[in-house]
DNA sequence: CCTATCATGTAATCCGTTACATGATTAT
DNA sequence: ATAATCATGTAACGGATTACATGATAGG
């Protein structure tokens, strides 16, 4: 039988994309991540080659390789995969995530806000604008399947605004 | 000579605590993390045994082991360590952190907000209260060295409030 | 005295990152 | 043609998590 593996967030990202987009190559997954989840959960493209392999080993997806030419691999979610995905989305989480903000870590350890703040502030400004842009596009076009992504964007916007306000404030000597 | 290693956020947490608290055992570091950085950047205690060892290998800290009894290890930051820490806090960051919120990931992939939201909401409520409590304590007692931690708390509070509002909103059918 | 809990550490596993490498397309 | 970029992968290394394990200390 197929060996058992632990499913990580990366696993669910792959499964989720495969369910939403149908059979895909790692490169297609990469594109998918870039325009969707990648906005708040990024991963290097190598993961999108490695992870489907792992998932295939355990039967959550099937792997299909071209016999000819570039020998591209295409992955498709299986029923087992769909079950795992649904079980995961149905379960509430145990704990809140850490902020894990390196800039904040520096401030914690005494970094000068005037140094750390301004670039940070600029990036959040850009991020907010970008999120709002995507949100506009998704809410006008984009059907009911855009519900999750839209909500996600909304949290992204609100959190980014909070961060923006913070870095703005501490950038000017308190 | 000592082998070179890459310094990770974990490294700087250890260095930062060692500078702030003076020579410490891994357990003391664990205590330190728990009441400070741990609130937004947690790590398992095993890291606080492994990481100082790594740092010692490269000369950022010294390791001192009791000859008798429990043979506890005590670590102290070196000048090289202090230099590295200062260099790090002086440099602005390159990129914003990802949110990496698993609950949000679930919503993105279509999870029912009514399932995911409420527990999330409760946790943020508690978190905000906890942060505010710590903030009160730190701002009345706690000298000028509490500046960084206080700022950190303030971002924590603002972000948590934003998240709280979000989960509250989506918990009730939109 | 016994059993929780605190304190202190090591071992194994593995995911994730970084780097390397090459085959196709497209633009100039 | 040829450079540049897109597409497609593999290899290696190491940090991080999880689990295991035992020595002290305090409470009942």
| Angle at which helices B79-90 and B9-21 cross, to 10° | 120
| Per-residue pLDDT, A70 | 72
| Per-residue pLDDT, B174 | 61
Residues B132 and B128: their CA atoms lie apart, in Å, by 6
Q: Which of these, B9, B51, B171, B55, lies nearest to A105 by C-alpha position?
A: B9
How far from B116 is each of A38, A40, B31, B151, CA to CA, in Å? 21, 18, 32, 30
| Per-residue pLDDT, A1 | 53
Cross-chain Cβ contact B96/A127 below 8 Å: yes
| Residue B119, CB, strand D, below 7 Å | no
Cβ(B76)–Cβ(B25) below 8 Å = no
Collect all residues with Cβ–Cβ distance below 8 Å to A116 and sequence separation of at least 6. Answer: A103, A106, A107, B92, B93
| Per-residue pLDDT, A43 | 95
How far from A21 is each of A37, A38, B37, CA to CA, in Å? 13, 15, 40
Q: Which residues of A touch B108 (CB under 8 A)?
A: 16, 36-37, 148-149, 151-152
Using the predicted structure, report yes or no on whether residue B116 has a pLDDT greater than 80: yes
Cross-chain Cβ contact B148/A98 below 8 Å: no
Which residue is listed with tokens 């205590």? B31
By Cβ distance, the residue of A16, A90, A162 closest to B162 is A162
For A148-165, write each residue's pLDDT tens digit.
999 999 999 999 999 999
Using the predicted structure, report yes or no on whether residue A91 has a pLDDT greater than 70: yes
**Strand B61-65 relative to strand B73-77, pairing:** antiparallel
CA A157 to C1' C18, whole Å: 31
Residue length of chain B: 174
The reported pTM is 0.94
Element counts in chain B: helices (H) and strands (E):
7, 2
| Per-residue pLDDT, A71 | 78
Cross-chain Cβ contact B159/A155 below 8 Å: no
Chain D positions with an atom below 7 A of a protein C-beta are 7-11, 14-19, 23-24
What is the average pLDDT score of chain A? 93
């Amino acid at each position: 039988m197929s060996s058992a593996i632990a499913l990580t967030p990366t696993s669910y990202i792959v499964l989720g994309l495969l369910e939403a987009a149908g059979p895909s190559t790692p490169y297609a997954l990469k594109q998918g991540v870039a325009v969707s989840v990648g906005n708040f959960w990024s991963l290097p493209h190598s993961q999108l080659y490695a992870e489907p392999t792992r998932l295939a080993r355990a039967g959550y997806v099937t792997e299909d390789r071209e016999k000819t030419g570039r020998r591209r691999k295409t992955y498709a979610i299986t029923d087992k995969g769909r079950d795992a995905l649904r079980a995961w989305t149905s379960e509430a989480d145990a704990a809140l995530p850490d902020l894990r903000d390196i800039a904040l870590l520096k401030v914690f350890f005494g970094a000068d806000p005037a140094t750390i703040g301004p670039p940070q502030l600029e990036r959040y400004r850009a991020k907010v604008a970008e999120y709002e842009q995507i949100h506009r596009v998704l809410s006008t076009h984009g059907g009911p399947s855009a519900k999750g992504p839209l909500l996600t964007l909304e949290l992204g916007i609100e959190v980014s605004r909070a961060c923006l306000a913070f870095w703005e404030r501490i950038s000017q000597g308190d």
